Structure 1
């Protein structure tokens, strides 16, 4: 007889088979909560304020046209100078000696010219009467011409010696203010070496370092308000006079010189000023600065797909930025949803949950 299976054994077998079934499915990750903002176009005609300083429109660096030893420097930094005023002097002894030598050479040449002229006139008269050979006349004529050339040469050397003596005095050619001195009495200087620098009084500039993205938004001939940093009530208007053709290799900014129109006396050389101008770079999208991140060393933002509620990383073109906001000139379209908080913890294609309605 075959015995029937034990009920307890059957129950254990059923439970074991049930345990070998498929594992339960893993739960999908919860969408990450983020804060967002709705991108919208706005006018970019904002007032831009930059800090700069005042410089002279024209500066002249004066140096002697000859070398020598400086015996006097008659001006100091801050002194006002007039046209023709002597700024410094060289020791004139060598040039005075050269002048005396040139004067003596002129006297000797004139004496020789007088003697050869008399001989030439005498030979010419004798030749006309037939009392002297033509060869002797021609010899006297050649001596006379040589003597006259020597006088012209001596007189030219005299003028050079007089000029060189005048070069021992360094004179201003226009009115201005001394901004720098580069030599002291007793120094031996070379021709052309800088001795005194003078800011000419024919105008003043406000000088500013301007980022490249702001230059693109400047109108053709903007009017700029320049005010004293320590006293904003001191104001002058100006026009862009010069833009540097090459950016500074360190700051990557361009130096812009603004010619001041009738500047008040308080805007002295070297004072710190602020310049204010309204720039118009066309429509831009402004988003909170917290939305900005970087990818491939370029600015980027996270954009939300409104249907799938997932995020994607997109590069943008930044026009300008401040601690609070970023003006985007390209890369975003109006009505797109941009993540403004939680950007550091996102990855492409991640599902998100909006904490608040996009604005």
Structure 2
């Protein structure tokens, strides 16, 4: 039997439709199979744990001496001796320099001689005044002569006081030939040597003494933060040295200026530290940290978990109890290390996504991981890796950079 060489057009069209329907069914089945096989996206989460934290303000600072005094001559003369070792510790009253005392010793002897002359003149005028008073009673001398001798007597008495004052002044100047330490502390290099001529009017100090225990640390504070904490007890201050090591002693904030620095917008403040080991030297750069506020039941979120919204706010993606992604509007304030302090929008137990954000969107089902381990719901999470002892013990600390 011979088959027809051609098929009707309707038959060909029907075969093509059947073929297309079969292909579509296969593709749909493949797609459905892929959806069933694809697991939820894995995301890293941090389960929030409420704890008390202590906010800290940090600032750069400079060490300053507790007391600093320049050694200056109070008389003129030639330096005969320098009686201290440069860089050593001296005590108040120690003799540092000896100025040639000869001229001042001579001036003292002259003043003493002047007192002797004044004493002799006083004796003479007193005797004369007494004789004239007796003669005046006998009308032998005039009243004017009697008054003149009495006035001379009083003048001689005044000259005694002048002579005594001259002796005292000469004694003081003689004492100034021994230049002493005005305070206790470490003395600097000497600006003069033996044989140098010094004077009370010179502009250059002979040396400088600095008291180095305790010492001040001058810091700059945020003016608003300082005003908020001004009514509280003076906060303790911690120091970090230039090499990154912590200074062992704790300081106390002692004073703040009454005006804000117009150039920096900061408030200059001063803290006091013990310095028995001499680790702090004037001019040294340090980092100061002081507690400003204790936040009760604070929540800290990794900075990667906070996103900016189009309206300028901030938000976070949270995994709910059904492992679905939700978006929360949040308010964050201080940055503490690599975390944000959340003031509102989240609660303890929330699981915030901080890694894998680009793989998910609101409404997606995800597989939350915490510390690399799957987390079924918020009740099994331990939080940010902190121990229970930390939650129950002292407040955690957070630092704000200034």
2:252 match: 239
Q: How far, CA to CA, are the matches of 1:278 and 1:43 in structure 2?
A: 13
Q: 1:199 aligns with which of 207, 210, 213?
A: 210
1:152 maps to 2:170: no
Secondary structure at 2:156's aligned position in 1?
helix
Q: How does 1:74-153 map onto structure 2 within 5 Å?
A: 74-92=83-101, 95-153=104-162
**1:236-281, Cα deviation, whole Å (9 max, x unpaired):** 3443333444556459363431343xx6536464577776655424
Q: Is the 8 A contact 1:210 1:253 kept in 2?
A: yes
**1:197-216, Cα deviation, whole Å (9 max, x unpaired):** 32347x41362635427645
Task: State the Cα distance separating 1:50 from its structure 2 match.
Answer: 6.8
Q: How far, CA to CA, are the matches of 2:268 and 2:341 in structure 1?
A: 20
Q: How far, CA to CA, are the matches of 1:37 and 1:268 in structure 2?
A: 42
1:265 match: 277
User: Structure 1 residues 326, 63: closer, same or farther in 2, change over 3 A?
Assistant: farther
Q: How far, CA to CA, are the matches of 1:356 and 1:205 in structure 2?
A: 60
Structure 2 length-normalised TM: 0.55
Structure 1 residue runs without a partner (length 5+):
1-34, 294-299, 342-351
2:172 match: 163
Q: Is the 8 A contact 1:234 1:264 kept in 2?
A: no
Q: Is the 8 A contact 1:221 1:239 kept in 2?
A: yes
User: Structure 1 residues 229, 251: closer, same or farther in 2, change over 3 A?
Assistant: same
Q: 2:191 aligns with which of 183, 190, 201?
A: 183
Structure 2 residue runs without a partner (length 5+):
1-43, 319-325, 369-377, 379-402
1:325 match: 339
- The answer to which of 125-134 and 249-258 deviates more is 249-258
User: Structure 1 residues 206, 102: closer, same or farther in 2, change over 3 A?
Assistant: closer
User: Structure 1 residues 88, 54: closer, same or farther in 2, change over 3 A?
Assistant: same
Structure 1 length-normalised TM: 0.60
User: Structure 1 residues 150, 208: closer, same or farther in 2, change over 3 A?
Assistant: closer
- The answer to which of 87-96 and 128-137 deviates more is 87-96
Q: Is the 8 A contact 1:176 1:198 kept in 2?
A: yes
User: Structure 1 residues 289, 160: closer, same or farther in 2, change over 3 A?
Assistant: farther
Q: 1:256 aligns with which of 258, 270, 294?
A: 270
Task: State the Cα distance separating 1:149 from its structure 2 match.
Answer: 1.4
Q: What's the RMSD between the two structures over aligned residues?
A: 5.2
Secondary structure at 1:113's aligned position in 2?
helix
Secondary structure at 2:152's aligned position in 1?
helix
**1:313-359, Cα deviation, whole Å (9 max, x unpaired):** x9x8854554x234467xx65479x9989xxxxxxxxxx95599899
User: Structure 1 residues 257, 304: closer, same or farther in 2, change over 3 A?
Assistant: closer
Q: How far, CA to CA, are the matches of 2:50 and 2:136 in structure 1?
A: 106
User: Structure 1 residues 78, 255: closer, same or farther in 2, change over 3 A?
Assistant: farther
Q: How far, CA to CA, are the matches of 2:267 and 2:300 in structure 1?
A: 23
